[in-house]
Amino acid sequence: MDKWTFPTQIYAGSDSLNRLTEFNNESILIICDPFLKDSPSLTYVMGLMDNKNEVSIYTDVVPDPPISHVAKGIEYMQGIKPSIIIAIGGGSCIDMSKGIAYFGRKLKHMNIKSFIAIPTTSGTGSEVTSFAVLTDSETKIKYPLVDDAVLPDEALLTPLFVKTSPPGVTAYSGMDVLVHALEAYVATAANNFTDALAQQAIELVFEYLPKCHKTTATDQDRMSMHEASCLAGLSFNKAGLGIVHAMAHQLGGQFHVPHGLANSMLLPYVIAFNCSHNPEVAKKYADLSAKLGFASYESSEEKKLGAFLEAIIKLQRTLECPMTLTDFGIDKATAEEKLNLMADRALEDMCYRFNPYPANRNDLIKLYRNVL
């Protein structure tokens, strides 16, 4: 028997922030991405809150949140004793807040009634996942804290904050959405439900991510990418991911390559690798390629897969994603020195076990070499 629930309540649309008007007499801690500090958007959020609430704002958030930052946040929270925690930011901010809320709920003198996530990137889907990816700064390892108890109680999806997202953040976080959906689509725990969510996310990404990357993006374009991100999050939270993520986590931990970009670099090589080792995966991606209109239904499986990879690479080029670590400014020899270590750690990453083919250490090293 397979039990599956979506515990997070999702409010979606331009008016979803109105949910915040419903709180009063609460102690509210807003953990907020630094880009929002002193911004009109944050002033707008503050204006929505009843002034009978006591509101504190905490902005000590950094990308790839280190465990030490979570500890500092917990200390701050204990001085506030919030009844409601609201995370407003990218995946890093939401993950750090998940850690803070998770440990806060374990402390007897705290009573956190609700933990709300408001994503400002269309990327991680963290607002609906049971993961919080935290970094051990000493070992440079990214550890996912995995527990349903880290799931936000509510997620508010609004295009308001993503509008300020610079093209690079839009591109990399958007590629993260695509990788979540494409890995979940063939992951070992995938089923018809997760496939439906992943497929819709993939369609939306190919249509709306190039639009969101342009200055002419509309609220509707932004909202469609935001929903794609959430759909992909719901899918991979159940289906699992794979070796793109297992390997990308090491590039993030070692070299601070933005998460979505690290995934983007590895994606075409891992798809080709998984297809060559698992015929079911090849068939599934080939069928998807035809469904998405990249190849005709009559063409051979090989042609369909070729067209699928071409479509991914075309998207990466449109979004101006660096294709290799060298393109991103990381010295090849420095990266080469870390290959064995990264492969060993990728084998231990929890995403590894959901890959549809058990790649070995040499396979992972070869795959890394493609993106040096």
Ligand X SMILES: NC(=O)c1ccc[n+]([C@@H]2O[C@H](COP(=O)([O-])OP(=O)(O)OC[C@H]3O[C@@H](n4cnc5c(N)ncnc54)[C@H](O)[C@@H]3O)[C@@H](O)[C@H]2O)c1
For 71, residues 6+ apart whose C-beta sits below 8 A from its C-beta are: none
User: Should residue 123 be labelled a site residue for ligand X when binding is judged by CB under 6 A?
Assistant: yes
From ligand X, Fe ion, none, interface partner of 210 (C-beta below 5 to 8 A by class): none
Among 9, 18, 164, 220, interactor with ligand X by CB under 6 A: 164
User: Should residue 133 be labelled a site residue for ligand X when binding is judged by CB under 6 A?
Assistant: yes
Half-sphere exposure (CA, 13 Å, Cβ side) for 243? 27
The answer to whether 242 touches 351, Cβ cutoff 8 Å, is: yes
Taking the C-alpha atoms of residue 185 and residue 197, their distance in angstroms, rounded to an integer, is: 9
Query: Closer CB to Fe ion, residue 140 or residue 142?
Result: 142
User: Should residue 90 be labelled a site residue for ligand X when binding is judged by CB under 6 A?
Assistant: yes
**Could you tell me which stretch among 28-36, 215-223, 325-333, 352-360 binds ligand X (CB under 6 A)?**
28-36
Which tokens sit at 88?
């407003």
Taking the C-alpha atoms of residue 273 and residue 357, their distance in angstroms, rounded to an integer, is: 9
Which 255-284 residues touch ligand X, going by CB under 6 A? Answer: 259-260
For 279, residues 6+ apart whose C-beta sits below 8 A from its C-beta are: none
DSSP code at position 311: H
DSSP code at position 357: S
The answer to whether 85 touches 111, Cβ cutoff 8 Å, is: no
User: Should residue 246 be labelled a site residue for ligand X when binding is judged by CB under 6 A?
Assistant: no
Query: Closer CB to Fe ion, residue 33 or residue 176?
Result: 176
Would strands 114-119 and 154-157 be described as parallel, antiparallel, or unpaired?
parallel
- Nearest-10 Cα torsion for 339, 340, 343, 347: -170
From ligand X, Fe ion, none, interface partner of 308 (C-beta below 5 to 8 A by class): none
DSSP code at position 141: E
Quick one: residue 271, left, alpha or beta (phi over 0 = left, psi -120 to 50 = alpha)? alpha
* Number of residues binding to ligand X, judged by CB under 6 A: 33
User: Should residue 126 be labelled a site residue for ligand X when binding is judged by CB under 6 A?
Assistant: yes
**Smallest distance from the beta carbon of 302 to ligand X, in angstroms?**
32
Among 33, 176, 195, 221, interactor with Fe ion by CB under 5 A: 176
User: Should residue 176 be labelled a site residue for ligand X when binding is judged by CB under 6 A?
Assistant: yes
Query: Closer CB to Fe ion, residue 17 or residue 186?
Result: 186
From ligand X, Fe ion, none, interface partner of 93 (C-beta below 5 to 8 A by class): ligand X
Query: Closer CB to ligand X, residue 92 or residue 264?
Result: 92
Which residues contribute to the site for ligand X (CB under 6 A)? 33-35, 63-64, 89-93, 95, 120-121, 123-126, 129, 131-133, 142, 161-162, 164-166, 169, 173, 176, 252, 259-260
- Which residues of this protein are in contact with Fe ion, per CB under 5 A? 176
